[in-house]
Structure 1
Amino acid sequence: MLTERLELKSFTPEEAEELLALRLENRQFLKALEPIRSDGYLTLAGQRTEIMQSEQGRIRDQAYVYAIRLRENGRLLGRAALTGIARGPFQNANLGYFLDEAHNGKGYMTEAVCGVLELAFAKHNLHRVQAGVMPRNAPSLRVLEKAGFRREGLAERYLKINGAWEDHVLFGITLEDWEAKTAGLQSGISV
């Protein structure tokens, strides 16, 4: 999928080195925001495994993982993923993402999240996407709000991040919310 400045596409095994380099460059930046990973995660083999697992998730309709690249030069900026997909009456996925620290604050993540939402609703036929963000992660809170998510509550000690159980603000957006937001954008009305 192409957005104004970005390309969102599934990772290929050949991109493992590039993904590893991005992860290593951002290791300190992401440390306070992510779970503690196994020793093998930040290796070439670990990133190849991650990409192969995401491909299996896509084949099983359980997860869709996207590389976030700049359209102008193809540079890898980050990753966005729809995971834990539940079908049946729920039609729901969890959204997770990260962006290269050097590219934060330029609107890329909001643009990528909006692109992933378009894929979630138009291509993957989901009805709802949810996300959780630590209350102190103000930039990520802003991304979700700008993308049209609504705050749904606080989950105490929700996820173990960097070795500690962290509270998360829970957000959700439904197909109806997304359609209202995109209709408003097309008509020039801010929703």
Structure 2
Amino acid sequence: MSETERLVIRPLQDEDYENWLHEFESRSPSQHRHDPGKMDMSECTLEWFERLVARHQELALNDKVYVFGVFRKEDGTHLGMIDIATLAREPFQWASFGYTIHNQHWKKGYGKEAVSQVLRIAAESLKFHRLEAHINLDNLSSIKLAESVGLEFECIRKGFIYEHEEWTDHLVYFKNLF
């Protein structure tokens, strides 16, 4: 667990289910192409969520992916998620990461605060040297957030990720942590 002035950042726990579900169900309609907006959560039962939490724990134990919930400190509201995926360990200590804040909580600085703290976690606790964010060319909000926490533009990877039923180009932003 890690804390900032306003946030608690930690792996999900079984007892987070109702809070997690409520915030997903409270999402506003989609604001742009990369925002899923309201989502069908009908399959997300308590049992489903418990399996998700167990899977996250297994991935972290195997140093594959670390998934963190972002919670508001004052009332415990689930604000979003950040994940760090190990790309290579020795000799690189290299990972990619992604971030999402529920759209009903946008424009309050939570994303910047959470990502800044996860960069510290990645360096200090997880011992990653390089973190990359892979961002859609037209995701201006994500680009702005990456730049605001000190990530630098490196390149465009052509046909990098399969999404929206096609291979899409992505911007690569990176930060060397130490």
Pick the TM interval, shorter chain. 0.7 to 0.9
Q: How does 1:2-151 map to 2 (within 5 A)?
A: 2-26=3-27, 29=30, 32-33=33-34, 42-44=43-45, 45-151=47-153
Q: How far is 1:34 from its partner?
A: 7.4
Q: Distance in 1 between matches of 2:104 and 2:137?
A: 22
User: Percent identity among equivalent residues?
Assistant: 27
One-letter amino acid of the counterpart of residue 97, structure 1: Y
Output the CA distance in 2 between the equivalents of 1:65 and 1:134: 21
Q: CA deviation at 1:132?
A: 0.6
Report deviation, 1:130.
0.6
Mark the runs of 5 or more structure 2 residues left unpaired by the alignment: none
TM-score normalized by the length of structure 1: 0.80
Report the CA distance shift for 1:24/1:165 in structure 2 as closer, same or farther (over 3 A).
farther
Query: How far has the Cα of 1:159 moved from its partner?
Result: 1.6
Q: Is the 8 A contact 1:20 1:47 kept in 2?
A: no
Q: Distance in 2 between matches of 1:118 and 1:166?
A: 30
User: Taking structure 2 as the reference length, what is the TM-score of the superposition?
Assistant: 0.85
Paired residues for 1:146-157 under 5 Å: 146-157=148-159
CA deviations over 1:19-67 (Å, ceiling 9, x no partner): 33433444853894379xxx99952244433322111111112221111
The aligned length equals 173
Give the match's secondary structure for 2:34.
coil
Hey, which of these two has a bigger chunk of helix by percent? Answer: 1
SS of structure 2 residue aligned to 1:29: coil
Deviation per CA, 1:90-145: give whole Å up to 9, x if none.
Answer: 11111111101111122110110000000000111111111111111111101110
CA gap 1:163/1:28 in 2 versus in 1, 3 angstroms:
farther
CA contact (8 A) 2:63 2:86 kept: no
Aligned CA RMSD, in angstroms, stands at 2.5
In structure 2, the CA distance between the partners of 1:28 and 1:161, relative to structure 1 (3 Å rule), is farther
> Quick check: 1:16–1:51 contact (8 Å CA) kept in 2?
no
Contact 2:26 2:104 in 1 (8 A): no
